[in-house]
Amino acid sequence: MKEKVQSALNNYVLAYSNNDKDLFRSLWDEEAVFEDPVGSEPCVGIEAICAFWDFGHSNGMEIKPVNVETVICANEGILKAVMEVRNTADNSGMDISIVDHFIVNENGKIVSGRAFWDESSINQPSHINSIDINIDEFKDRG
């Protein structure tokens, strides 16, 4: 089971690194629940999770995980990374330090994902323009 969890986490990173929505979609169970960040309205089901992907990748946005670390225990995994959020249209962005917790089923599909981050997790790189984010508005993205 450990290999299935590690594979799911590796492919999650790969999907973001390559801006590959099809790969991202393939990682999730049809009935999965994704809460990003914790405290926001969870995305329930594959369509809602894919709508979250679209929300995070709109208008030239790219998200690349760096400094990735994982810990796997049984059918659960922790993914710790810095998500480099960049808007290629206007050279803006931010870095978000996240800790994701995933539960993977026997088929190797993610059934639960929870992303832990808040305002204190956001860093503004000096070489790019700032993206203003209101965490409460982000959580209520509809």
Residue 31 has a pLDDT of 97
| CATH number where 86 lies | 3.10.450.50
Residue 126 has a pLDDT of 86
Residue 138 has a pLDDT of 54
Residue spans of alpha helices (H) in the chain: 2-17, 21-26, 46-56, 135-139
Q: In a structure prediction context, what are the per-residue pLDDT tens digits for the chain, which is 142 residues long?
A: 999 999 999 999 999 999 999 999 999 999 999 999 999 999 999 999 999 999 888 888 899 999 999 999 999 999 999 999 999 888 889 999 999 999 999 999 999 999 999 999 999 988 887 776 655 555 555 4
Distance CA(53)–CA(99), nearest Å, equals: 17
Q: 53: domain range?
A: 2-139
Residue 60 has a pLDDT of 82
Q: Based on the structure, what is the number of domains in the chain?
A: 1
